[in-house]
Amino acid sequence: MRRILYIGNKLEKHGAAPTSVDTLPALIEKEGFKFKSVSSVKNKPLRLLHMLWSVLMNIQKKDLVLIDTYSTFNFWYSVLCGQVCFIFNIPYIFILHGGNLKSRFDRSSNSILKIFRNANFCVVPSNFLKDELAIFSFKNLKYIPNSIDLSFYSHKYRKNLDPKLIWVRAFDEVYNPGLAIRVLERLLKSYPTAELCMVGPEKDGSRGRLEKIVKKRNLPVKLTGKLSKEDWTTLSKGYDIFLNTTSIDNTPVSVMEAMALGLPVVSTNVGGIPYLIQNGVNGLLVESNDCEDMATAVEALISDPELAHKLSSNGKKSVESFDWEKVKPLWLELLA
């Protein structure tokens, strides 16, 4: 049985949105692998120490180490854990996340880049990120897309839409949740019955700031907080249009899920989104942080049932290649 140590921010129990370190091990263990996943320590310095200690305890075993890598401060967790693996000749694989990693690597020294170049592989979840990182001469890039279990999602075809909007993401300024509020206010001028539901955990104080705006302006906005996948997908049946307002992105699972559920998607045209959404075919793309552009796209869906039905239908077809049963063999080959 192949044993794997997975290093990542395992913080779902603290209210954070689940990441691959929370979900991937359970899926792979069904195929005969044994995982140890760390760390769920909330304090950042202590979490780093727990990660490094876990890697050091793995020296004699020489088990494979998977390391989640993000462009935020958590990038340094990856660098330090990868450095330990390199020094002690432990096989390691980076799993790269986030639409802003190129900027992080641009600011990195050659010694840091060497840690990534010496990894067995650097897994990228999108061709966007693979293209972005090509300039760094990583010869070990491996494309394995984000996945969803399509059997979990009940597709509902949308055609005659009401102005009922849903937004699903962590409340973080990088995802620009305030844009969804502004779009709703713009729509209310033409559609007094418009409403917005926002689902996701607090991350940087954005939710608290928006709650004050919603209350002050008496806006028809429902803020649910973090919901389980089952709860939010059930909730989605009562809404007709999915908004993705982010200013930086890769291949967000929430957008893939919306497409699987039959929700026509209106998204900002940033990062890896145009690799996932073809404008006018399986979704609508608008300029980043452009309230008028996004509101106009929503109005186009409401006024054109055939367009709405086309996007709803094509969205489901577009995410079929991301089904876990199709992605699983790529992981099994990598980890064998």
Q: What is the mean pLDDT of residues 197-208?
A: 94
pLDDT digits (tens, 9 = 90+) for 292-307: 999 999 999 999 999 9
Tell me, what's the pLDDT at 299?
Answer: 98
* Residue pair 143/272 in contact by the 8 Å Cβ criterion: no
Q: Tell me the β-bridge partners of 197.
A: 166, 222
Phi, psi of 94 (to 5 degrees): -90, 140
**Percent of the chain residues past pLDDT 70, beyond the cut:** 100
pLDDT at 36 > cutoff 70: yes
Report d(CA 138, CA 17) in Å as an integer: 30
Tell me, what's the pLDDT at 1?
Answer: 66
The one-letter code for the residue type at 131 is D
Q: What is the mean pLDDT of residues 70-86?
A: 94
Model confidence at 98, pLDDT cuts 50, 70, 90, reads confident
Tell me, what's the pLDDT at 62?
Answer: 85
Q: Show the beta-strand stretches assigned E in the chain.
A: 3-7, 34-38, 64-69, 92-96, 121-124, 141-143, 164-168, 195-199, 221-225, 241-244, 265-268, 284-286
Spell out the domains of the chain, with CATH numbers in brackets: 3-148+323-335 (3.40.50.2000), 150-318 (3.40.50.2000)
Q: Whole-prediction pTM value?
A: 0.93
* Residue pair 216/187 in contact by the 8 Å Cβ criterion: no
Report d(CA 256, CA 97) in Å as an integer: 16
Tell me, what's the pLDDT at 285?
Answer: 98
Tell me, what's the pLDDT at 80?
Answer: 97
pLDDT digits (tens, 9 = 90+) for 247-258: 999 899 999 999
Q: What is the mean pLDDT of residues 139-168?
A: 95
